[in-house]
């Protein structure tokens, strides 16, 4: 029972992070039908630049409290990520918007290699330690514990997702985004500028990735030039699980995938008599992905069809 | 507008088989002679170059195999290296003391250790890889493009995770430290690792491996060229251009896709087995996602779907690390007094740049297939046509 509560908490934290990242995938996929392979790397750049910013701030004003540093780090990371994402969109994706489907996908992979390699040049190939900024005294919930950082992750993710739903459902920009997703050509006839909507979508996704990246390193206290890859893949899985292109779906998919992973990792040892351990955690996401794609390719909440010629 | 969108009748029927023009024949003989002399000439600069040549041939095989899946059939596979891993581990397990050391029952049956001949291990590795190809292909049959890419990527990662972790409770793969003491290639009683005297000469083991690998790579090229012109090859290309139309023309989409996966995987399996024998050591590290992406960059750079282009791409990118080690590192040393970017990092940087640049400025690769082959899939014309067609259907 204790494991259950603890793993549910861990799953919620992981799931909130996945959901934040998945939103970036799903929004871009919604308007462009493109898997933005470099999204995980945008997250990594956000995390590492926040780490550097926090390092500089700590050097300049040693007395700053932890939460201010975290907030400032995040505000430094968000514009970096947005700028990077806009450059990627402008340079690598926009020229290929009408090209055959494989072309932007392959370009995206190339961009991803480029970003990772550059990050390796800037920040080195070693694991970097993220300082402990928020109080680390655990909060007890029965026999399970949760740290302040993890509470912040869950609350922040919930707030952001609420705001995003409002943005997409109830604002002029949101309507333009939905119209572009539906049919860019007709949307542009109705006075929507698809280029700017697409750029805005990339920017929002990048901002969310920055927040997710900073919270991820704050939770696990490491940062690395490769840290974006696996979470990126998992978040994509979450987006597919929820129904790609569907914003609420990405949130649900993220949380569900986080729970599956945490519970799976917590119980696989018992279930298989120790033959498989928690080192197989990364396999669950892919099994989930394959199962969803085979059984229900439109995802849990999706109405979109997976197979588009 | 409509006229540009319709397919034009093929003005260039495939050249009739049989007679090869003398010019081509001459070029082939010259190329053959060059391939034979190459290791001796380049060996003068050091064994590292001959070793690099061996890896070039392995990458040529991998690129050709991936080209069947991505270039011919148009199915983007990002986990291709998994098949290489399957081939390599099959060879490694069947021709090394590892299994007999860890499983007493086996040791009892084979007191001298498992030393299966390459004539057996290579076919087993290739068929296992093909089986994995079908295993991967079956669930993803209905998926297209980007979904397929992600699932195959996940598959590649799963294989690597299993290779890394299948050392407990039963030690199959020896985990991250990999399998060592793999037998070299033996043909009859002739051991490629200790060649001695051959035809009055004293070739090094590396040179002999080079000849073996080149022979297999040439065979792979031949198979690819013949496949491309075959009924199956045409079915793949029809599938790549338009799945619905291909189905309407009577192509059995399921079988044709599975054949693409399994044949592509077979190439990977063979290359993997040879890699294990050549290297004498395998570990999960050699089968990372990066490797899949490197092979993909090779075929993208050379020209998706065009065999000579793919070979060119593989040769260029596989020689790059060795070339960088000998140029970029001393150059940086001379310019800045220290090495700012080491060769490995520079290589990835260049791979990334090449992939993006090629896709933006020369989407059909450095040595693309002739117009009538590849143009719908990767040409600018195709993009324009697609636009026109979309616009027309949008009005209807």
* pLDDT tens profile B144-180: 667 788 888 888 888 888 888 887 767 778 878 888 8
In A, which residues are within 8 Å of B71 by CB distance?
A: none
Residues 6+ apart with CB under 8 A from B61: B216, B217, B220, B267, B268, B270, B271, B274
- Domain contains A57: yes
By mean pLDDT, which of B87-101, B255-269, B288-302, B372-386 is the weakest? B372-386
In B, which residues are within 8 Å of A107 by CB distance?
A: 355-356, 359-360
Other Cβ atoms closer than 10 A to A72: 17
Q: Does B150 contact A116 at a Cβ distance shorter than 8 Å?
A: no
3-state secondary structure of B246: helix
Q: Which of A122, A164, A129 is nearest to A21 (CA)?
A: A164
8 A C-beta contact, residue A245 and residue A304: yes
Q: How many interface pairs between A and B have CB atoms less than 8 angstroms apart?
A: 138
The percent of residues above 70 in pLDDT, for chain B, comes to 84
- According to the model, what pLDDT value does residue A309 have? 34
**What's the mean pLDDT when you consider all of chain A?**
86
8 A C-beta contact, residue B74 and residue B239: yes
pLDDT over threshold 50, residue B338: yes
The more confident residue out of B20 and A260 is A260
- According to the model, what pLDDT value does residue A3 have? 76
H or E segment and range at residue B190: strand B190-191
Q: Which of A155, A132, A149 is nearest to A66 (CA)?
A: A132
- Domain contains A203: yes
- Whether A105 has its CB under 8 Å from any CB of chain B: the answer is yes
CA distance B256 to chain A (A): 18
- Whether A259 has its CB under 8 Å from any CB of chain B: the answer is no
Among the partner-chain residues B355, B378, B391, the one whose CB lies closest to the CB of A110 is B355
- Domain contains A144: yes
Among the partner-chain residues B145, B165, B289, the one whose CB lies closest to the CB of A101 is B145
B293 to B66, B103, B374: CA distances (angstroms): 11, 36, 22
- Domain contains A253: no
Q: Look at the block and give the residue holding tokens 């199962």.
A: A291
- Domain contains A213: yes
pLDDT over threshold 90, residue A49: yes
Among the partner-chain residues A98, A105, A236, the one whose CB lies closest to the CB of B383 is A98
Instruction: Tell me the per-residue pLDDT of B16-63, one tens digit each, with 9 for 90 and over.
Output: 455 677 888 888 888 888 888 787 777 777 778 888 888 999 999 999
Confidence of residue B2 (pLDDT cuts 50, 70, 90): very low
Q: Does B143 contact A307 at a Cβ distance shorter than 8 Å?
A: yes
- Domain contains A143: yes
In B, which residues are within 8 Å of A285 by CB distance?
A: 154
Q: Which residue on chain A is closest to B358 by alpha carbon?
A: A107
- According to the model, what pLDDT value does residue B391 have? 46
Q: Which residue on chain B is closest to A90 by alpha carbon?
A: B360
8 A C-beta contact, residue A7 and residue A266: yes
Q: Chain A, 214-233: which have a CB under 8 Å from a chain B CB?
A: 229, 233
- Domain contains A295: no
- According to the model, what pLDDT value does residue A39 have? 92
- According to the model, what pLDDT value does residue B290 have? 82
- Domain contains A217: yes
pLDDT over threshold 60, residue B314: yes
H or E segment and range at residue A146: strand A144-146
Range of the domain at A186: 20-228
Domain ranges of chain B: 48-395
Cα dihedral sign for A307, A308, B2, B8?
negative
pLDDT over threshold 90, residue B267: yes
Q: Does A306 contact B147 at a Cβ distance shorter than 8 Å?
A: yes
Q: Please report which residue ranges of A183-303 form alpha helices under DSSP H.
A: 184-189, 194-220, 229-242, 247-271, 281-295
Number of domains in chain A: 1
Q: Does A110 contact B149 at a Cβ distance shorter than 8 Å?
A: no
By mean pLDDT, which of A94-103, A154-163, B61-70 is the weakest? A94-103
- Whether A110 has its CB under 8 Å from any CB of chain B: the answer is yes
In A, which residues are within 8 Å of B293 by CB distance?
A: 109, 113
- According to the model, what pLDDT value does residue A99 have? 79
């Amino acid at each position: 029972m204790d494991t259950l509560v603890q793993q549910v908490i861990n799953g919620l934290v992981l799931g909130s992070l996945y959901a934040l990242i998945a939103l970036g995938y799903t929004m871009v996929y919604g308007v462009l039908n493109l898997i933005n392979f470099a999204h995980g790397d945008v997250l990594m750049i956000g995390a590492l630049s926040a780490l550097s910013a926090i390092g500089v701030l700590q050097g300049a004003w040693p007395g700053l409290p932890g939460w201010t540093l975290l907030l400032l780090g995040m505000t430094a990371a968000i514009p970096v990520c947005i700028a990077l994402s806009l450059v990627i969109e402008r340079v690598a994706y926009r020229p290929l918007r009408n090209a055959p489907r494989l072309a932007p996908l392959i370009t995206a992979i190339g961009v991803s290699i480029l970003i990772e390699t550059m990050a390796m040049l800037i920040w080195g190939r070693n694991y970097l330690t993220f300082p402990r900024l928020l109080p680390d005294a655990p909060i007890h919930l029965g026999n399970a514990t949760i740290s302040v950082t993890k509470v912040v992750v869950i609350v922040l993710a919930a707030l952001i997702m609420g705001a995003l739903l409002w943005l997409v459902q109830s604002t002029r920009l949101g309507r333009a985004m939905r119209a572009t997703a539906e049919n860019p050509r007709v949307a542009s006839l109705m006075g929507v500028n698809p280029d700017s909507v697409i750029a805005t979508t990339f920017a929002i996704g990048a901002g969310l990735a920055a927040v997710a990246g900073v919270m991820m390193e704050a939770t696990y206290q490491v940062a690395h030039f490769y840290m974006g890859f696996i979470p990126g893949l998992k978040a994509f899985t979450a987006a597919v699980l929820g129904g790609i292109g569907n914003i609420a779906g990405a949130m649900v998919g993220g949380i569900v995938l986080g729970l599956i992973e945490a519970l799976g990792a917590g119980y696989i040892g018992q279930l298989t008599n120790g033959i498989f351990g928690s080192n197989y955690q990364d396999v669950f996401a892919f099994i989930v992905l394959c199962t969803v794609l085979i059984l229900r390719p439109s995802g849990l909440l999706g109405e979109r069809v997976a197979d588009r010629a | 507008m409509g006229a540009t969108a319709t397919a034009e009748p093929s003005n260039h029927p495939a050249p009739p088989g049989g007679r090869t023009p003398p010019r081509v024949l001459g070029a082939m003989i010259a190329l053959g002679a060059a391939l034979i002399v190459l290791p001796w000439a380049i060996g003068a600069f050091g064994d590292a170059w001959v070793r690099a040549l061996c890896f070039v041939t392995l990458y040529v095989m991998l690129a050709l195999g991936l080209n069947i899946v991505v270039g011919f059939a148009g199915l983007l596979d990002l986990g291709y290296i998994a098949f290489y891993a399957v081939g390599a581990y099959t060879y490694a397990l069947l021709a090394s003391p590892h299994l007999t050391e860890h499983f007493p029952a086996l040791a009892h049956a084979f007191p001298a250790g498992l030393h299966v001949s390459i004539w057996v291990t290579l076919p087993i590795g290739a068929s296992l890889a093909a089986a994995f190809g079908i295993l991967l292909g079956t669930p993803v049959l209905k998926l297209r493009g980007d979904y397929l890419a992600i699932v195959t990527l996940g598959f590649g990662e799963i294989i690597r995770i299993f290779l890394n972790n299948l050392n407990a409770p039963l030690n199959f793969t020896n985990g991250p430290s990999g399998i060592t003491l793999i037998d070299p290639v033996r043909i009859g009683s002739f051991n490629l690792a200790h060649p001695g005297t051959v035809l009055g000469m004293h070739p090094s083991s590396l040179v002999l491996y080079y000849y073996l690998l080149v022979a297999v790579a040439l065979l792979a090229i031949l198979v690819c060229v013949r496949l491309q012109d075959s009924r199956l090859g045409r079915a793949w290309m029809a599938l790549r251009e338009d799945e619905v139309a291909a189905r309407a023309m009577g192509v059995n989409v399921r079988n044709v896709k599975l054949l693409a996966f399994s044949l592509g995987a077979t190439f990977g399996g063979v290359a993997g087995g040879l890699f294990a024998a050549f290297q004498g050591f395998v570990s999960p590290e050699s089968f990372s996602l990066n490797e899949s992406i490197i092979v993909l960059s090779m075929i993208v750079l050379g020209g998706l779907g065009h065999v000579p282009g793919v070979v060119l791409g593989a040769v260029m990118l596989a020689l790059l690390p060795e070339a960088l080690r000998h140029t970029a590192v001393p150059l940086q040393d001379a310019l800045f007094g220290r090495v700012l970017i080491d060769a490995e990092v520079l290589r990835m940087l260049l791979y990334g740049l090449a992939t993006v640049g090629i896709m933006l400025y020369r989407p059909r690769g450095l040595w693309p297939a002739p117009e009538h082959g590849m143009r719908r899939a990767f040409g600018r014309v195709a993009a324009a046509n697609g636009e026109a067609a979309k616009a027309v259907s949008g009005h209807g």
